[in-house]
């Protein structure tokens, strides 16, 4: 009987140890290597869609090591390379410290950015639009009224800063409004989409405990049609 108790205690101890090791490895991977992100807005359409879940490579830019489950950064690991124009980058918002954003880097420190009647110029040359970038508003704002969407600059990006813009150029709150992003806010490079589903725009929606059965039934019925199978596993460019 005593041997059985010892064996049982040993098994429990091994299981707990394995669980703690697994949790520790998951935290290390999340902190240093990759992290999952969700796209909540349409500012990167049609490159990234609302409802896309993606993995970000944190290692390539030198992952910031934060206190677990906080936004407090302890230090940054050595990086493989700096963000460059064309990269889709995840970074901490310059104006909302608890919020992560995802945009495309269009210019780096020392380069001059100019937006003229919606056309983006970097160092005097037109920036080649990404394949799925788009403009949805034919109006052109001159910038004199404070709306810098269509006419901005010229602006020289400070050293160790990055100018970020959404691919949905007419519907993106980005560096045209809050200027370049400092290097210390960079978190990772968008890597691939591991899950994607279209938002539920038809309901029914939760309005109290009595609505829960109807909401759950509608969720299961519509789930197959909401999954964007063609996006699963796509490499982000």
The residues near 166 (Cβ < 8 Å, ≥ 6 apart) are 43, 44, 103, 104, 172, 173, 174
Whether this prediction's pTM lies above 0.85 is answered by no
What is the C-alpha separation between 76 and 192, in angstroms, rounded? 23
Please give the CATH topology (third level) of the domain spanning 33-196: Umud Fragment, subunit A (2.10.109)
Average pLDDT over residues 43-61: 93
Q: What is the pLDDT of residues 184-222, one digit of tens each?
A: 999 999 999 999 999 888 878 888 888 888 888 888 888
What is the C-alpha separation between 170 and 150, in angstroms, rounded? 8
List the catalytic residues: 43, 103
Confidence of residue 25 (pLDDT cuts 50, 70, 90): very low
- The answer on pLDDT for 71 being more than 80 is no
Q: What is the pLDDT of residues 120-178, one digit of tens each?
A: 999 999 999 999 999 999 999 988 878 899 999 999 999 999 999 999 999 999 999 99
- The answer on pLDDT for 53 being more than 90 is yes
Arithmetic mean of pLDDT over the chain: 86
Percentage above 70 pLDDT, the chain: 81
What is the C-alpha separation between 4 and 17, in angstroms, rounded? 20
Token pair for residue 214? Answer: 């109807």
The full set of domain ranges for the chain reads 33-196
What is the C-alpha separation between 49 and 230, in angstroms, rounded? 13
Token pair for residue 232? Answer: 């699963």
pLDDT of residue 31: 53
Percentage above 90 pLDDT, the chain: 59
Confidence of residue 117 (pLDDT cuts 50, 70, 90): very high
Residue 103 φ then ψ, to 5°: -145, 175
Among 110, 49, 77, smallest CA distance to 186 is for: 77
Q: What is the pLDDT of residues 96-106, one digit of tens each?
A: 988 999 999 99
- The answer on pLDDT for 55 being more than 70 is yes
């Amino acid at each position: 009987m005593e041997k059985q108790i010892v064996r049982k205690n040993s098994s429990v101890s091994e299981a707990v140890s394995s669980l703690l090791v697994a949790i520790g490895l998951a935290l290390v991977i999340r902190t240093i290597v990759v992290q999952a992100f969700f796209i909540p807005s349409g500012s990167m359409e049609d490159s990234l869609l609302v409802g896309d879940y993606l993995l970000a490579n944190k290692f390539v830019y030198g992952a910031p090591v934060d206190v677990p489950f906080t936004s407090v950064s302890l230090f940054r690991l050595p990086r493989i390379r700096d963000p460059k124009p064309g990269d889709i980058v995840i970074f901490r918002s310059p104006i909302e410290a608890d919020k992560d954003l995802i945009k495309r880097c269009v210019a780096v420190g020392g380069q001059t950015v100019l937006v003229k009647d919606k056309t983006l110029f970097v160092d005097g040359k037109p920036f080649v639009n990404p394949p799925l970038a788009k403009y949805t508003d034919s109006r052109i704002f001159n910038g004199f009224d404070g709306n810098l969407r269509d006419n901005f600059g010229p602006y020289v990006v400070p050293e160790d800063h990055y100018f970020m813009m959404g691919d949905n150029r007419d519907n993106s709150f980005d560096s045209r409004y809050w200027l370049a992003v400092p290097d210390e806010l960079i978190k990772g490079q968008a890597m691939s989409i591991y899950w994607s589903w279209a938002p539920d725009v038809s309901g029914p929606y939760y309005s109290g405990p009595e609505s829960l059965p109807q909401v759950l039934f509608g969720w299961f019925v519509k789930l197959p049609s909401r999954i964007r199978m063609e996006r699963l596993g796509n490499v982000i460019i």
